[in-house]
Amino acid sequence: MKFKALTAVAALMLTSTVAVAGGADDDSLVINGDIEIVTKTAAPAHLDGHLDEIISGWHFRDNETQAMEMDDFDNPGMIFVDQARETWATVDGSEGKSCASCHGEPEDMAGVKAVYPKWNEGAGEVRTLVMQINDCRTTRMGADAWKYDGGDTTAMEALLASVSRGMPVNVAIDGPAAATWEKGKELYYTRTGILDLSCASCHEQNYGNYIRADHLSQGQINGFPAYRLKNAKLNGAHNRFKGCVRDTRAETYKEGSPEFIALELYVASRGNGLSVEGPSVRN
């Protein structure tokens, strides 16, 4: 693997930084007074033995951050959604098409975000929503592909998430997608880096606790793309994966790499049953 060698001694350094917290709160998330978001529910069957309940990252944020997501006028991520609406209707590329030319209004795409990543039979691969957006641009519009997790792609993904808010995540992991899912699962539980951590070390074994000033969540991505107060912009899931791996003091993969595609499929499936929530607001 590309990750650096593990050191169990360094993991002991992390242990001393983890403090027990109160866990997830019991608040309810309703957006704009009418979009009810399922933020806690029974874990899907494939998490048997790992988690009994799955919980949105919204529950691990402070009251002020939570409130920002409850009203689109206060959610800074919606600025990028509005920008993507303009892009949606804008003709680009050699074929004289816009997104709207094939797909109609963004609201006609409700439910799409809930099932990605998914197996694409024609391409013979698992595709993330970002991959599908770029395929539309290059093969149907004759336009240039956007940078993976770049500003344009993340904004467009946020637009597609916004019209699916409240719908249950329902990512398929069987059939031809199973091999990619298994690869993602292996990555999720593999300890890496100088700190000898896996995704599960923080997001399954220690969620609800604090690591320094960060209140650890389950690492659910039903709220992505997420507007992070830390960097004041929308962030895609692969960007967050990259940051987490770097936090373990390991070499990381690139956004859009086969490894992160597999990891996204696995992590998304861990949220099956939660509502699509993006664009969310996080620290």
Cβ neighbours of 230 (radius 10 Å): 11
Q: Which residue type sits at 209?
A: N
- Told to judge if 244 belongs to the known catalytic residues of this protein, a careful annotator would answer yes
Residue 45 CB partners (closer than 8 Å, separation 6+)? none
CA-to-CA separations, 153 to 10, 52, 110, 247, 265, in angstroms, rounded: 37, 34, 18, 25, 18
Tell me the CA distances in angstroms from 20 to 83, 168, 212, one per residue in order: 41, 31, 11
Residues, the chain, total?
A: 283
SS3 224: coil
Among residues 99, 199, 202, 244, the one annotated as catalytic is 244
Q: Per-residue DSSP letters for 157-170? A: HHHHHHTTTTSBP-
Backbone angles phi, psi at 200, to 5 degrees: -65, -30
* CA triple 147-135-186, angle to 5 deg: 75
Handedness of CA 194, 198, 188, 112 (dihedral sign): negative
Within 163-225, residue ranges assigned H as helices are 178-189, 199-203
As a whole number of angstroms, the distance between CA 1 and CA 157 comes to 30
Residues tagged active-site: 244
